[in-house]
Amino acid sequence: MKKSLFSILFSILSIATYACPMCEKQQPKILRGIAHGAGPESNLDYVIVWTMVATVFVTLFFAIKYLVKPKETDANHIKRTVINFE
């Protein structure tokens, strides 16, 4: 049951990831086949997107870093009230 559900879900998602032929013609060479709609209108669009990608990765890095090693040793820290909840 799990395998058939996973197979159906995977096939539906894989179909939705490909661009239609009309959208594919409008995209620049690097985005052809993977993006829908109109392509970027200027180089500023690329700068904005790559800035957001970098921001997301930096945020993800620090979120994982402080989740693994929070470096809070104070006994009165707010996390202690959650951990020692009685």
Residue 50: pLDDT band with limits 50, 70, 90: very high
Q: Are 17 and 33 in contact (CB under 8 A)?
A: no
Indicate whether 16 pLDDT > 60: no
pTM for this model (two decimals): 0.55
Distance CA 49, CA 33 (A): 18
Average pLDDT over residues 27-38: 74
Domain extents in the chain: 1-39, 41-86
Q: CA of 29: how far to CAs of 34, 39, 50, 54, 61, in Å?
A: 10, 10, 17, 22, 31
